[in-house]
A = this chain, B = another copy of it.
Amino acid sequence: MTVTTEINTTELNKFIDGIRPTFESSLKELVDIPSVSMDPNHKKDIEEAAQSAVRFLKSIGATAEVIPTDGNPVIYGEIIAGKQFPTVTVYNHIDVQPADADEWQKPPFDMQIENGVYRGRGTTDDKGPALTALFAAKFAKEQNIPVNIKFIWELEEEIGSPSFEKFLEKNKEKLKTDSILISDTIWISRERPAISYGLRGLQGVVVRLKTGKKDVHSGLVGGLARNPIGELAKLIAECYDAETGEVRIPGFYDDVNRASGTEQDNFVNSGFSTDEFKRAHELTSVRKTKDMKEAAERIWAMPTFEVHGIVGGYSGPGVKTIVPHQAEAKISMRLVKNQDPTKMLAMFTKFVTEKCPDAEVVAEGSLRPYLGEFSGPYNKAASESMKFAFGKEPAFTREGGSIGAVVSMNDVLGVPITFLGLSLPEHGYHAINENYDWQQASGGMKMFVKYFSLVSQIK
């Protein structure tokens, strides 16, 4: 076997053109399976997605197996070029967020292709990037790039990877690698690629308050009866100032490790713009900020307090004058480096139950924050690969979201982790009408091929 580290660009372009129909039919096959990990009714779809994944891995000449865990299985595959060569492990997930078909323009689980845009739940998060990396690996294999490529495709990412750390520990030998590549992050904009090196953590909580056995007529009881929605609203207003986003829970910011000067400069120079951010996420207005540095820091490097919903009482049209007998606030805190979810949960619980002793605080999903390096040979390779594929220098930024699996891989596998995302803000991560596109997929294949080639030379 001859090994190559030079990329034959003509061959690569030919390969990418040729693979497009296969890429598109494979993506459609995968997106059309509603592998929603949050909903137990989709267990069969999870199994079906795992079987599809095995077929795709085998189709490019990788080994492939479905490894059971305490929860959903993990699909593992590998292409071994030779024991003497470096190994890079590509992580993706193929479970998806739920999707309410009524809110979408097109059915979320019947992928539509239109002018090179792929619409459907999971197209950008993260089935599209998974297949982009997969077909890049096929080319790398065909070109004998001297690198071993391992694949980990998770099916519990959207529920916080509850079984993943145990899976890693159990299969530590098999998963041995020199570096990890994650493709599940987002650019600044289509014009501005980005490489993440940090992720926020998360602590979800539900606060329940029950003050009676049934909703009652506000004329009869109003004034004397407690109102659990009103009391939860008060609690929320005591926890944070929704207008500014400032959290008022004592000690909330104590452990925050603020972004360094260099990082802040990078944020400012990243090309991040509030106007572009508003446009991409279809926001009418955003919170006031002093400057671009503060705006960027808020979404990437500062913790948050967020209310996702308040359930209880009357929700139909108009007003029905009942006093609700119970209410539930769905809350989460995004956390940054050094903020420990367990400690933050305890802090929150203490604050809430001191203010309202009969409120019940139920812990939901919990993810530790991650902060890696933004320099070193792997990030250098990543940056070069992005420039090679898209002709633009990437920005080094943090990411505001959370990927629990990253923290686990960092802990258990202990090797450098690099983020090569392909998603754009307007792709609609977790939102309605999620999409991905051939421009990002074709560029992404080039990027991954270049990256495989470059890491094959890292000693």
- A residues contacting B by CB (< 8 A) are 38, 97-98, 103, 186, 200, 202, 204-206, 210-227, 229-234, 236-238, 240-243, 245, 274, 277, 281-287, 289, 295, 298-299, 302, 304-316, 318-325, 330-332, 334, 358, 364-365, 399-402, 425, 428-433
Contacts and interface: CB of A to CB of B under 8 A. Distances in A.
Contacts of A226: 242, 283, 285-287
A281 B311 CA distance: 21
Contacts of A431: 214-217, 322
B319 A224 contact: no
Contact of A319 (B214, B285, B320, B365): B365
Contacts of A400: 219-223
Nearest to A218: B306
A211 B274 CA distance: 15
A219 B402 contact: yes
A313 B304 contact: no
Contact of A298 (B223, B234, B299, B323): B223
A283 B320 contact: no
Given A214-B433, A221-B283, 11 more contacts: A103-B214, A211-B285, A216-B282, A216-B430, A223-B298, A223-B302, A223-B334, A224-B287, A225-B287, A227-B242, A313-B330
A98 B320 contact: yes
Q: Among A242, A287, A315, which residue has the most Cβ atoms of chain B within 10 A?
A: A242
Contacts of A200: 219
Contacts of A402: 219
Contacts of A186: 220
A321 B233 contact: no
A35 B355 CA distance: 44
Given A204-B321, A214-B432, A306-B323, A231 B219 contact: no
A214 B282 contact: yes
Contacts of A214: 103, 282, 428, 431-433
B283 A223 contact: no
Nearest to A241: B234
- 8 nearest A-B pairs in the assembled complex, by CB-CB distance: A219-B401, A230-B242, A223-B298, A309-B313, A237-B237, A213-B282, A217-B430, A233-B233
A204 B317 CA distance: 12
Given A320-B330, A321-B204, A430-B216, A231 B242 contact: yes
A235 to B, nearest CB: 8
5 contacts: A216-B281, A223-B287, A231-B242, A310-B310, A311-B315
Contacts of A298: 223-224
B222 A230 contact: no
A379 B232 CA distance: 43
A126 to B, nearest CB: 13
Nearest to A330: B319
A401 B299 contact: no
B286 A318 contact: no
